[in-house]
A and B are shown apart, each in its own frame.
Chain A
Amino acid sequence: MAAPRRFGALPRWITHLADSALPFLLPALAINVAIILIPGLLTIAMAFFEWDGASTPAFVGLDNFRTIFTDPVFFSALFNNIKWTVIFLTIPIAMGLGAGSLLLVARRGRTFFQVVYFLPVIIATVVVARVWQGMIYNPESGLVGWFKFYGITLADPLTQPPTALYAVASVDLWHWWGFLAVIFFAAYRQVDSAQIEAAVIDGASFFQLMRYVLIPAIRPTITLMIIMTIIWSFLAFDFVYVLTQGGPAYASEVLSTLSYRYAFYNYTMGPAAAVALVISFFGLIATFFYVRIQQREGVR
């Protein structure tokens, strides 16, 4: 016998939905739609309009994309983002894996070191940036200036075009790598201790343990962190903005600071939205690969 219809005369598909998980998803979905989807769609639309933020927008088709693709700063910013991605895919992940495994091995002081590594992550980015700018890099009031007393004159790395981007990236690295260390440590702890013990009994050295047991075991976590790093690298903004605002002479300009300048200094929202779409495009590629990898691992 068919299930009796409930809620009076409502059609069956609604009752099916009501029975499903939808009511539980609705609140989060509503917030997502209002705060993420709608503004996202508006940004995509804005990339094809010309708007100064105050008057009425005017449709301009692909003009905004033409504007950004003929701006040499756009390509140097894109290249800076790629450099940033390469830096963050290698150094902090290697440091995080190493530190995580050290935390795993150490019994005593484990909590203490976890806290020490994680502390920079929880300090506000502006504070971190100002400390590095004023107390470390500054040639008058910082560590760089202190070397003058020993006869070594160093230039402020933030002010030389060849080193500006790397100087900013170093600050973000210092701020960020502890997060990865803690994440990887948590992942290591999920590894079946029997496997580790078996390897140790078989006479594996520390590096062999890492290479053959630990890292393969936490591969899903590493993959996730790699994809997130790629996405976050294209979003990098705060340290560049506070430390150099993209200077000197656009040497440390990244796509998000470029977008910000277009929007809030030049008051041209169209190109800003176009740059934002380019950023999202790279994020989308990374997400696509992540989903593919996940599906493949699911099959296995």
Chain B
Amino acid sequence: MKTMKTMKNYERKRRVEGFLLKKTKLDFMARVATLTAAATLSTSAWADGPITLWYQRGGNPEQQRILQKDLVEPFNAAHPTTPLTLDVLAGGSGDKKIRMAVISGKGPDIVMTPGPSTTLALVQSDHLLPLDDYIKKYNLDKRILSPVLRTGEYKGHNYALPRTFETMVLYYNKTLFDKNGWAPPKTMAELNIIAEALLAKNITPFSVGNGDWRAANEWHVSVVLNHYAGPENIFKALKGEIPWTDPVFAQAIDVLKNWYQKGWFGKNYFSLTGDQQALLLAKGEAGMAPNGTFSFDNMVAAFKQTGQELGVAPFPTLRDGLPYPIYAIGTGSTMSINKDSANPDAAAAFLDYLYSDAFYDRISKDWPGDWNLPLTSIDEAKLSKNVSPIFAATFTAFSKAVAQGNYGYTTWTFWPPATEDYLIHGIEQVWLGQISTTDYLGKMQEIFAKEMSEGKVPPPAAR
């Protein structure tokens, strides 16, 4: 017996069914439509269409404007069918966003990473395209400095082109040095004399700090490892031939420990930001600053504020028998092509533009500090047109030394990730006297050996 209620429900049910049926019909037609549209669009996207670059290092509005003007617009003018779309990611975690996107099969066509150890993971999981053919096609092996180019090699193929090459140098306050009749130190003995003299005058010898970039610790570890232990020993250790507990490394870390504990780093190492470090040096409250070429802009800006003169010199050799000067190579970032890119040829054409003299000419005028491309054509005379003579001189000396084989290894380019992380945090424990140098290097060797057995160590290019 059907009641009024059940009649109503029955009608309701029929209405719902009718609606659903209509909906499914619509759905089906919509699906067919989108598929056809996608098919027609995608066939044309294989040859043309925008390519994307996610700029991993972040940039303030002025820097973004420079990128548009120097990087994007000239390329797009020359390649109107495959324009570049630039996405500037907020600094700090841009590399993680790119990594996640690439691993999930999406991500930009041109993959920018903060260095070879990040690239290695992407290479091993087969997400990057080997670039050997494009390198040959565009003669990039002749245009990029060979030792730096080889940092992107893995198992015989090249997967990453170096975007910036950088090194550790010694910035110093030339005004202060001239006043005291000092020349920039070339040996450990000379460095000791100057540092002691500075301490006596109550001036901090090294203006350093990790207030805004905790990883600044590894700059100093890189410096003592390269300039005391020497690149040959580092090369052996990275290949696993000698352990990190070798006496020469222990002595190198002891040098660093003494610098901190003697007060060469001042009292505020853990608070000072990059800007503050530059300003202290520019004011003459510190005498020297071991820092990277990536901080050039900072230093120049600070010295402009105080009107004193900036000096740059190669870092002194800390042990007899090592050549001078040594420049530890850092590949501050790399460019690769995403394996899932719909348009690898266009991406390669972009890389060709990136390593051209035309682009370098433009960018070194506007933003040299971050775009030190390791080009073989770096020429002091040409460069001085666009940048300060001191920058031109430093960079030309750096490239010449690298071309001649006088190069070392920075930790952020050549160390595997967990070892690098321990290197950064553990050294603080050494400085603060919580663990001994032996314990520090012992733990580092343990972590390194584990990562080596897991294939996570980016292989260093043969010397």
Q: Are A264 and B270 in contact (CB under 8 A)?
A: no
Task: List residues of A (48-69) whose CB comes within 8 Å of B's CBs.
Answer: 52-55
Task: List residues of B (252-272) whose CB comes within 8 Å of A's CBs.
Answer: 267-272
Closest chain B CB from A255 CB (angstroms): 16
Quick check: is B142 within 8 A (CB to CB) of the other chain? Answer: no
Question: How many of A's residues come within 8 Å of B, CB to CB?
Answer: 32
Quick check: is B103 within 8 A (CB to CB) of the other chain? Answer: yes
Q: Chain B residues with Cβ under 8 A from A8's Cβ?
A: 13
CA distance A267 to B418 in the complex (A): 7
Q: Tell me which of B103, B122, B127, B270 contacts A156 (CB under 8 A).
A: B270
Binary B-proximity of A138-159 (CB < 8 A = 1, otherwise 0): 1111000000000000011011
Q: Are A6 and B9 in contact (CB under 8 A)?
A: yes
Q: Are A139 and B268 in contact (CB under 8 A)?
A: yes
Q: Are B269 and A250 in contact (CB under 8 A)?
A: no
Quick check: is B417 within 8 A (CB to CB) of the other chain? Answer: yes
Q: Tell me which of A137, A245, A261 contacts B271 (CB under 8 A).
A: A137
Q: Are B432 and A53 in contact (CB under 8 A)?
A: no
CA distance A8 to B429 in the complex (A): 73
Quick check: is B124 within 8 A (CB to CB) of the other chain? Answer: yes
Quick check: is B22 within 8 A (CB to CB) of the other chain? Answer: no
CA distance A140 to B103 in the complex (A): 43
Q: Chain B residues with Cβ under 8 A from A161's Cβ?
A: 432, 434
Task: Name the residue on A nearest B124 (C-beta).
Answer: A55
Beyond A52-B121, A53-B103, A267-B121, whether A245 also contacts B276 by CB under 8 A is no
Binary A-proximity of B415-440 (CB < 8 A = 1, otherwise 0): 00110010001001101101000000
Quick check: is A80 within 8 A (CB to CB) of the other chain? Answer: no
Q: Tell me which of A52, A137, A156, A249 contacts B432 (CB under 8 A).
A: A249
Quick check: is A7 within 8 A (CB to CB) of the other chain? Answer: yes
Quick check: is A247 within 8 A (CB to CB) of the other chain? Answer: yes
Q: Are B268 and A267 in contact (CB under 8 A)?
A: no
Quick check: is A283 within 8 A (CB to CB) of the other chain? Answer: no
CA distance A279 to B5 in the complex (A): 54
Quick check: is B44 within 8 A (CB to CB) of the other chain? Answer: no
Q: Are B121 and A139 in contact (CB under 8 A)?
A: no
Task: Name the residue on B nearest A157 (C-beta).
Answer: B271
Quick check: is A4 within 8 A (CB to CB) of the other chain? Answer: yes
Q: Tell me which of A6, A246, A249 contacts B434 (CB under 8 A).
A: A249
Q: Chain B residues with Cβ under 8 A from A248's Cβ?
A: 270, 428, 432
CA distance A6 to B11 in the complex (A): 11
Q: Are B434 and A54 in contact (CB under 8 A)?
A: no
Closest chain B CB from A157 CB (angstroms): 10
Q: Chain B residues with Cβ under 8 A from A156's Cβ?
A: 268, 270-271
Binary A-proximity of B58-102 (CB < 8 A = 1, otherwise 0): 000000000000000000000000000000000000001001000
Quick check: is A195 within 8 A (CB to CB) of the other chain? Answer: no
Q: Are B269 and A159 in contact (CB under 8 A)?
A: yes
Closest chain A CB from B261 CB (angstroms): 14
Q: Tell me which of A4, A155, A158 contacts B6 (CB under 8 A).
A: A4
Q: Are A140 and B99 in contact (CB under 8 A)?
A: no
Q: Are A54 and B127 in contact (CB under 8 A)?
A: yes
Q: Are B121 and A247 in contact (CB under 8 A)?
A: no
Q: Are B425 and A247 in contact (CB under 8 A)?
A: yes
Q: Tell me which of A245, A246, A261, A264 contacts B96 (CB under 8 A).
A: A264
Beyond A53-B121, A161-B432, whether A4 also contacts B3 by CB under 8 A is yes
Binary A-proximity of B267-290 (CB < 8 A = 1, otherwise 0): 111111100100010000000000
Quick check: is B214 within 8 A (CB to CB) of the other chain? Answer: yes
Q: Chain B residues with Cβ under 8 A from A140's Cβ?
A: 268, 271-272, 276, 280
Q: Are A266 and B428 in contact (CB under 8 A)?
A: no
Closest chain A CB from B285 CB (angstroms): 10
Q: Are A245 and B6 in contact (CB under 8 A)?
A: no
Q: Chain A residues with Cβ under 8 A from B36's Cβ?
A: none
Task: List residues of B (111-157) whose CB comes within 8 Å of A's CBs.
Answer: 121-122, 124-125, 127
Q: Chain B residues with Cβ under 8 A from A250's Cβ?
A: 425, 428-429
Q: Are A54 and B122 in contact (CB under 8 A)?
A: yes
Q: Chain A residues with Cβ under 8 A from B434's Cβ?
A: 161, 249
Closest chain B CB from A30 CB (angstroms): 19
Quick check: is A265 within 8 A (CB to CB) of the other chain? Answer: yes
Closest chain A CB from B452 CB (angstroms): 14
Quick check: is A268 within 8 A (CB to CB) of the other chain? Answer: yes
CA distance A12 to B280 in the complex (A): 80
CA distance A264 to B114 in the complex (A): 13
Closest chain A CB from B202 CB (angstroms): 13
Q: Tell me which of A7, A249, A265, A267 contacts B429 (CB under 8 A).
A: A249
CA distance A4 to B103 in the complex (A): 55
Q: Are B9 and A159 in contact (CB under 8 A)?
A: no
Binary B-proximity of A243-276 (CB < 8 A = 1, otherwise 0): 0011111100000000001001111100000000
Q: Are B276 and A141 in contact (CB under 8 A)?
A: yes
Beyond A249-B428, A249-B432, A267-B418, whether A55 also contacts B271 by CB under 8 A is no
CA distance A284 to B272 in the complex (A): 40
Q: Chain B residues with Cβ under 8 A from A55's Cβ?
A: 121, 124-125
Task: List residues of B (153-168) whose CB comes within 8 Å of A's CBs.
Answer: none
CA distance A6 to B421 in the complex (A): 65
Binary A-proximity of B192-220 (CB < 8 A = 1, otherwise 0): 00000000000000000001001000000
Closest chain B CB from A162 CB (angstroms): 11
Q: Chain A residues with Cβ under 8 A from B270's Cβ?
A: 156, 158-159, 247-248
CA distance A18 to B380 in the complex (A): 80
Q: Are A247 and B267 in contact (CB under 8 A)?
A: no
Task: Name the residue on A nearest B455 (C-beta).
Answer: A55
Task: List residues of A (83-137) whose CB comes within 8 Å of B's CBs.
Answer: 133-134, 137
Closest chain A CB from B248 CB (angstroms): 25
Closest chain A CB from B451 CB (angstroms): 9
Task: Name the residue on B nearest A267 (C-beta).
Answer: B417
CA distance A245 to B272 in the complex (A): 15
List residues of A whose CB falls within 8 A of some B CB: 4, 6-8, 52-55, 133-134, 137-141, 155-156, 158-159, 161, 245-250, 261, 264-268
Ranked nearest first, the 8 interchain pairs of A and B with the lowest CB-CB distance are A159-B270, A54-B125, A266-B418, A249-B428, A156-B271, A249-B429, A265-B421, A54-B121
A-B contact pairs, 19 of them (CB 8 A): A6-B6, A52-B456, A53-B99, A55-B124, A134-B273, A138-B273, A139-B271, A140-B271, A140-B276, A158-B270, A158-B271, A159-B269, A159-B270, A247-B428, A249-B431, A249-B434, A250-B428, A265-B418, A268-B418
List residues of B whose CB falls within 8 A of some A CB: 2-3, 5-6, 9, 13, 96, 99, 103, 121-122, 124-125, 127, 211, 214, 267-273, 276, 280, 417-418, 421, 425, 428-429, 431-432, 434, 456
- Given A4-B2, A140-B268, 20 other A-B contacts at CB below 8 A? A52-B456, A54-B124, A54-B125, A134-B273, A138-B211, A138-B273, A139-B268, A140-B271, A140-B280, A156-B268, A156-B270, A158-B271, A159-B271, A161-B434, A247-B214, A247-B270, A249-B434, A250-B429, A267-B417, A268-B418
